[in-house]
Amino acid sequence: MEPVLLYDTTLRDGTQGENINFTAEEKIRIAQKLDDIGIHYIEGGWPGSNPRDKKFFELAKKVEFKTARLTAFGSTRRPGIMPGDDQNLQALLESGTPAVAIFGKTWDLHVRLMSNTQEENLSMIEESVAWLKANGKEVIYDAEHFFDGYRGNPEYALQTLRAAVRGGADFLVLCDTNGGTLPAELAQMCKAVQSALDGRNTKLGIHTHNDSALAVANSIEAVSCGAVMVQGTVNGYGERCGNADLTAIIPILCTKMGCPCISDENLKKLLSLSRFVSETANMIPLSSRPFVGKSAFAHKGGIHVSAVMKDPRAYEHMRPEQVGNSRQVLVSDLSGKSNVEYKAKELGVDLGGDGNSRRIVREIKRMEQEGYQFDAADGSFKILLEKLTEQFESAFILESFRVTIEKDREKPCSAHATVKISVGCQDEITAAEGDGPVSALDNALRKALYKFFPDIETMHLVDFKVRVIDGRSGTDAKVRVLIESRDQDNIWSTIGVSEDIIEASWQALEDSFQYKLAKQQNLICTQKQISA
Ligand SMILES: CC(=O)SCCNC(=O)CCNC(=O)[C@H](O)C(C)(C)COP(=O)(O)OP(=O)(O)OC[C@H]1O[C@@H](n2cnc3c(N)ncnc32)[C@H](O)[C@@H]1OP(=O)(O)O
Ligand SMILES: CC(=O)C(=O)O
């Protein structure tokens, strides 16, 4: 199969997605990551559109890209003027990139919408491409609405492509702009283009949108039909339902189609690229995203885990490490002993025999029926395993706590907590305030523990989620509290369940501190073992 070139448009079409926004500096950082993974073309933005994209191309002049050709995006000239008089085309030259991409109209309906004539549209395409070529650019011609245009008026759609070929375009990119095309018809139309342009040396590319959830499938289909450039975005960000997701297309090409568009080493950076872009876009990474999502290789069903432990191929279509991901085993009421044994090993807990794992499975199922959800709370699960196998060593014991909330007419609520704990044979009582009751409890407990474990300072609560388990019972319903905590090395989650939200919060909070302190004790033991 001919090598396929990857064309990333995260920084242009990606930013046309709702809530996706990057500063010029962030765009540079993303471009460097894209270059680092081996993307061949990076579309940086539309310099004729806004000052931010203009600034990006100014900043990019100082960046050396290892693999990628930086590309500026724009449209054909406006009707009735010369290309040299068109500000948008001028801006493309000023961006100083080796390659440019321009889009033109393929669909006769759209030509009419512009109150343009079909002849003038053909001239706009040919002259704009020719002018950019005469100015030394590699030109990628995006045939906007190609598939809709071909469906409506195939002869005119082909004429627009021929105009781009006459202008000297290096690539003709067929765009499924509205994302409504199905793979089989897309394949037919790609083949029709190939036979209509037979003998001319223009290479075909594909640019698809995900409105029918088929952007990746359509891109892959086009490659099978001979397209040598695939356009897409990281995480599929883009206008409306998004663009073709490169985090799926790249591994499919590399591992399933015998088309190694990036090296095996670079493929391992895919998850990190995906996370970097979602982090920069301030978007929560989608767990179920194929290949790079947190759940992409997560096994919950007991039957699956039992088989995966014998041979991962049973329920994994590829090795997660190939894309930088890893296998996860989740524990829940759908677990069997295989889940528990796998997870215990991962968490470093010795279960001491088959009988124990069966007993633990029964206990998990009972507790999940009560409202616990262990696949979201590794920290509490580790503590539970240790308790059930009598290995748990409590760093502290709660003697009592008291929480009060005060509301004065004008002022916002204020919360105060008093906590009494014992550590070894010493008692400690502390009081603290907080923005709310859980924050007050957290502050009081932290203060009490600090005297014995100063390292507690490095730990912070980063997320607190409350979910009513069965809302039909009104205010008597049980609540589930999930707390996520972190220190300089780790993130862990803990859980509490009760009819009382403060009690549920305390359970999750206590587990969180116990987990941290056990981790610290383990470290001290390991260090002692090392120095001995
Ligand atoms: C399929 C795609 O994703 S194409 C990319 C779409 N992306 C964007 O639109 C984001 C960036 N866009 C912008 O910043 C602005 O729309 C600009 C600067 C390009 C143009 O702004 P304005 O001049 O105010 O025009 P406006 O956005 O209202 O309309 C677009 C104009 O471009 C014209 N146009 C559309 N496609 C093309 C084309 N391929 N070639 C030439 N002109 C075109 C339209 O006919 C319309 O012209 P009109 O103003 O004479 O009616
Ligand atoms: C060019 C482009 O972004 C499109 O047709 O969707």
Q: Which domains does the chain have, with CATH numbers?
A: 5-262 (3.20.20.70), 298-387 (no CATH), 397-531 (3.30.160.270)
The pLDDT of residue 524 is above 60: no
Q: Does ligand 2 come within 6 angstroms of the Cβ of 239?
A: no
- For the residues 103-123, what does the mean pLDDT come to? 97
What is residue 526's predicted lDDT score, i.e. its pLDDT?
Answer: 40
75 CA from centroid of ligand 1 (Å)? 8
Q: Which of 160, 151, 227, 144 is nearest to 182 (CA)?
A: 151
**Which one-letter DSSP state was computed for residue 145?**
T
Arithmetic mean of pLDDT, 502-514? 97
The three-point CA angle 83-87-91 to 5° equals 100
Q: Give pLDDT, residue 195.
A: 93
pLDDT digit string, tens, across residues 33-74: 999 999 999 999 999 899 999 999 999 999 999 999 999 999
**Which residue's entry shows tokens 């070529």?**
133
How far, in Å, is the centroid of ligand 1 from the Cα of 112? 15
The residue whose CA has the least distance to atom 3 of ligand 2 is 13
End-to-end CA distance of the chain: 59
> Which of 13, 102, 140, when mutated, tests ligand 2's pocket best, judged by the most ligand atoms within 8 Å of its CB?
13
The whole-number pLDDT of residue 531 equals 41
Give the distance (Å) from ligand 2 centre to CA of residue 142: 7
Ligand nearest to the CA of 143: 2
Binned at pLDDT 50, 70 and 90, residue 199 comes out as low
- Tens digits of residue pLDDT in 325-377: 999 999 999 999 999 999 999 999 999 877 789 999 999 999 999 999 999 99
Q: Using alpha carbons, select from 33, 54, 52, 51 the residue that is nearest to residue 42.
A: 33
Is any ligand 2 atom within 6 A of the Cβ of residue 327? no
> Which of 20-29, 348-357, 376-385 is the least confident region?
348-357
Helix ranges restricted to H, 74-214: 87-94, 108-113, 118-134, 146-152, 154-167, 183-196
Residue 5: pLDDT band by 50, 70, 90 thresholds? very high
Burial (CB count within 10 angstroms: exposed 0-12, middle 13-18, buried 19+), residue 531? exposed
SS3 (DSSP) at 329: strand
Expressed in angstroms and rounded, the spacing between residue 174 Cα and the centre of ligand 2 is 9
Place of tokens 């100015």: 135
More confidently predicted of 354 and 483: 483
* Residue 527: predicted pLDDT: 40
Whether ipTM tops 0.90, in short, is yes
Neighbouring C-alpha atoms within 13 Å toward the C-beta of 185 = 11
Q: What is the number of the ligand 2 atom nearest to the C-alpha of 12?
A: 3
pLDDT tens for residues 222-265? Answer: 999 999 999 999 999 999 999 999 999 999 999 999 999 999 99
Amino acid at 221: E
- Phi/psi for 481 (5° steps) reads -110, 130
Pocket of ligand 1 (CB under 6 A): 13, 16, 46, 48-50, 75-76, 78, 103-105, 114, 144, 177
User: Cα of 78 to ligand 1 centre, how many Å?
Assistant: 9
Nearest CA to ligand 1 atom 46: 114
Q: Which residues contact 60 (CB under 8 A, 6 or more apart)?
A: 28, 31, 44, 70, 97
- Is 338's C-beta closer than 6 angstroms to any atom of ligand 2? no
Q: Is a pLDDT exceeding 80 seen at residue 519? A: no
The helices-and-strands tally (H runs, E runs) of the chain is 18, 16
Residue 169 tokens read as: 């375009």
Burial of 375 per CB tally in 10 Å (0-12, 13-18, 19+): buried
Residue whose CB lies within 8 A of the most ligand 2 atoms, among 103, 208, 229, for a mutation test? 103
User: What's the average model confidence in pLDDT over 145-153?
Assistant: 98
- From the CB of 147, is ligand 2 less than 6 Å away? no
Pocket flag, ligand 2, residue 35 (CB < 6 Å): no
- Nearest atom of ligand 1 to the alpha carbon of 103: 39
E strand or H helix at 172, and its extent?
strand 171-176
> In the chain, what's the furthest Cα-to-Cα distance?
92
Look at ligand 1, atom 23, and give the residue with the nearest C-alpha: 49
pLDDT for res 109: 97
Whether 104 and 128 have beta carbons less than 8 Å apart is answered as yes
Is residue 43 lining ligand 2, measured as CB closer than 6 Å? no
Long-range contacts of 184-190 (CB under 8 A, 24+ apart): 185/147, 185/151, 186/147, 186/218, 186/221, 186/222, 187/221, 187/222, 187/224, 187/225, 189/146, 189/147, 189/150, 189/151, 190/221, 190/222, 190/225, 190/226, 190/227
Residue of 392, 360, 333, 434 whose CA lies nearest to 522: 392
Q: What pLDDT was estimated at residue 404?
A: 96
Look at residue 528 and tell me whether its pLDDT is greater than 60. Answer: no
What percent of the chain is modeled with pLDDT above 90? 91
Residue ID of nearest Cα to ligand 1 atom 4: 103
Name the closest-CA residue to atom 24, ligand 1: 49
Is the CB of residue 177 below 6 angstroms from any atom belonging to ligand 2? yes
What pLDDT score was predicted for residue 412?
86
Provide the percentage of residues in the chain whose pLDDT is more than 70: 97
What token pair was written down for 203? 């290479």
The tokens of 179 are what? 């994302």
In this predicted structure, the answer to whether residue 522 has a pLDDT above a threshold of 50 is: yes
Helix 154-167 to helix 118-134 angle (10° resolution) is 20
Give 286-312 pLDDT, tens digit per residue. 999 999 999 999 999 999 999 999 999
Cα(113) to centroid(ligand 2), Å: 17
What are the C-alpha distances in Å from 179 to residues 27, 77, 92, 111, 158? 26, 25, 27, 19, 20
Residue 100 has pLDDT above 90, yes or no: yes
Q: Which atom of ligand 1 is nearest to the CA of 113?
A: 45
268 CB neighbour count, 10 Å cutoff: 15
Task: Give the residue whose CA is nearest to atom 29 of ligand 1.
Answer: 114
